[in-house]
């Protein structure tokens, strides 16, 4: 039986800001939001990358604008918020997807490497949640975490620690910002992005091992991660908050 009052899994008409939205998973989410009819501002530190994704979003006939953002700088995030409110009339959805890949083993990692990774991957999420949380009357925040919060990889102490922190921050923010704002996270598994490069190329032995262990038989495209973001940002997820949704093709559940 159809219930016409049931909310749909779409973000049409919503006003979204995607931090780290010019490459990789963030760009995939920005594209999916725009294709679904949301107004989208996608941002990062790179002026060139921001211009490129903004031109693409304009072709989707949605409201957008060019603005850079450095998540290590609170003033930069505040400027992004002000531009978003002025351009879109408000913000309904915030996605935190800024990335950093300064990897080293625990014994070799410098204080500067640790501080940079944690500042971008964890403290940046805190700043954005706080700055936008104060401006959003209602809506949804989606943080991009990682399977690596639980599936530990070598030479990634700062990355794994920061993503574990994102999961905890997501749950804490969900409590503090309720009931007006829902806060959830996505924990992707292996994804084809610019940063994954040759390591996940189809001809690499690492890729073959991953495909064999993954029940769905392949690593994800960014569009497959974006689907989870659309759901969490949509009204269909109106009773979902404080959750970390793993999107890894079953990798974490496989004993192969």
Give which of 35, 50, 56 is closest to 80, Cα–Cα. 50
CB of 50 closer than 8 Å to CB of 44: yes
Residue 256 placed within a domain: no
Residue 101 placed within a domain: yes
Phi, psi at 226, each rounded to 5°: -60, -30
Strand order in the sheet with 15-19: 39-43, 15-19, 93-96, 139-144, 181-188, 244-247
State which H helix or E strand residue 129 sits in: helix 124-133
As annotated, the active-site residues are 159
Residue 174 placed within a domain: yes
Tokens of 94: 């915030």
Residue 2 placed within a domain: no
The whole-number pLDDT of residue 1 equals: 45
The whole-number pLDDT of residue 167 equals: 97
The whole-number pLDDT of residue 4 equals: 60
Those residues whose C-beta lies under 8 Å from the C-beta of residue 36, and which sit 6 or more positions away, are: 10, 11, 12, 230
C-alpha to C-alpha distances, 95 to 17, 207, 209, nearest whole angstrom: 6, 28, 31
The whole-number pLDDT of residue 203 equals: 67
CATH code at position 159: 3.40.50.720
Q: CA 241, CA 178: separation in Å to the nearest integer?
A: 9
pTM: 0.93
Residue 254 placed within a domain: no
DSSP codes, 85-125: HHHHSS-SEEEE---------TTT--HHHHHHHHIIIIIHH
The whole-number pLDDT of residue 144 equals: 98
Residue 3 placed within a domain: no
Instruction: Count the residues in the chain.
Output: 256
The whole-number pLDDT of residue 28 equals: 97
Predicted confidence (pLDDT) per residue in 9-63, tens digit:
999 999 999 999 999 999 999 999 999 999 999 999 999 999 999 999 999 999 9
Count of the separate structural domains present in the chain:
1
Q: Which residues of the chain have pLDDT under 70?
A: 1-4, 152, 154-155, 195-199, 203, 255-256
Residue 215 placed within a domain: yes
Q: CA 116, CA 234: separation in Å to the nearest integer?
A: 33
Residue 161 placed within a domain: yes
């Amino acid at each position: 039986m159809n219930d016409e009052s049931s909310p749909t899994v779409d973000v049409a008409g919503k006003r979204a800001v995607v931090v780290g939205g010019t490459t990789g998973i963030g760009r995939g989410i920005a594209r999916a939001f725009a294709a679904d009819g949301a107004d989208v501002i996608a941002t990062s530190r790179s002026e060139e990358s921001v211009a490129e994704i903004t031109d693409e979003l304009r072709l989707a006939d949605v409201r957008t604008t060019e603005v850079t953002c450095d998540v290590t700088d609170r003033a930069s995030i505040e400027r992004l918020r002000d531009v978003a409110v002025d351009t879109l009339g408000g913000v309904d959805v915030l996605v935190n997807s800024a990335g950093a890949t300064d990897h080293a083993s625990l014994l070799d990692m410098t204080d500067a490497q640790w501080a940079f990774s944690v500042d971008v991957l964890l403290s940046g999420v805190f700043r954005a949640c706080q700055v936008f949380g104060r401006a959003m009357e209602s809506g949804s925040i989606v943080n991009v975490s990682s399977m690596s919060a639980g599936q530990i990889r070598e030479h990634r102490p700062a990355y794994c620690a920061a993503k574990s922190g994102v999961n905890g921050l997501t749950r804490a923010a969900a409590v503090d910002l309720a009931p007006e704002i829902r806060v959830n996270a996505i924990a992707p598994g292996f994804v084809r992005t610019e940063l994954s490069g040759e390591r996940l190329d189809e001809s690499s032995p690492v890729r073959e091992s991953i495909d064999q262990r993954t029940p769905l038989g392949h690593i994800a495209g960014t569009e497959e991660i974006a689907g989870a973001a659309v759901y969490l940002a949509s009204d269909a997820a109106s009773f979902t908050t404080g959750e970390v949704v793993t999107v890894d093709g079953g990798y974490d559940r496989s004993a192969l």
